[in-house]
Amino acid sequence: MTSTTWWWVRHAPVVEMTGLLYGQMDLAADVSDDAAFAALAAKLPEDALWITSTLQRTRQTFDAIMAARGTSAEPDLIEPDLIEQGFGDWQGLSYNQIRERTDPALWVSPGTAEPPGGESFATVIKRVAPAIERLNEQHAGRHIVAVVHGGTIRAALAAALDLSPDKALALVIDNLSLSRLEAIGDPSIPLAWRVHYINFVAG
């Protein structure tokens, strides 16, 4: 039986877009909270495979974690499939602005709502879940630290717990929070997931 442990870290805050939906906009993160990074770094395993998305805020967060450990390094993998949800024409708008511009019927099932030029959260799950399966196969038995996005982490939890898109969107994933999941299995049996904790903020 093989156990692969995922340590999901949401990137540091994007201060310039507080209250706005920024999705796949490539914005910088505020990595000035040294105490928060020291506490987070102390919780993470030493012998891990490190993954970021393609957006700079995840790389900046990774760099700050490494700095808190007194070192520098490159991520082992930069994984495009773990990028944040693409909100298309909604990016840069507040939630109130979006609701003012859309049909109320769209929000009966927000997990399947598709922004113009973007993707629904249900589509994000369909993108993220196969990436996790692939990485589980390629790196079975490892600790994997994925420094990514709130939407990505919710999608990972939806896949692990068989949650509907709407239910997964109800999960709170704070900046610099840690969610730990364990994938257990071998080629002869279906993969099983164990959730150790969700949205843990160190410090």
Task: Set out the domains of the chain in order of their start, with CATH numbers.
Answer: 2-200 (3.40.50.1240)
Q: Is the pLDDT of residue 68 over 70?
A: yes
| Residue burial 109-143, b: 16+ Cβ < 10 Å; e: rest | eebebebeebbbbbbbbebbbebbeebbeebeebb
Q: Is the pLDDT of residue 16 over 90?
A: no
Q: Which of 174, 172, 196, 170 is nearest to 183 (CA)?
A: 196
Task: Give the alpha-carbon dihedral of 140, 141, 147, 153, to 10 degrees.
Answer: 70
pLDDT (0 to 100) of residue 18: 86
Average pLDDT in the chain: 96
Exposed, middle or buried by CB within 10 Å (0-12, 13-18, 19+), for 98? Answer: middle
Residue 106: Cβ within 10 Å count: 14
**Cα(196)–Cα(114) distance, integer angstroms:** 32
- Full-model pTM: 0.96
Residue 53's Cβ-side half-sphere holds a number of Cα atoms within 13 Å equal to: 26
**Cα(58)–Cα(61) distance, integer angstroms:** 5
**Tens digits of residue pLDDT in 159-198:** 999 999 999 999 999 999 999 999 998 767 778 999 999 9
pLDDT (0 to 100) of residue 31: 99
User: What's the length of the chain?
Assistant: 203
Residue 202 CA: distances (Å) to CA of 44, 91, 99, 120:
10, 30, 34, 31
**Tens digits of residue pLDDT in 118-157:** 999 999 999 999 999 999 999 999 999 999 999 999 999 9
Q: Which helix (H) or strand (E) holds 192?
A: strand 192-200
Extract the tokens encoding 29.
Answer: 């993160």
pLDDT (0 to 100) of residue 58: 99
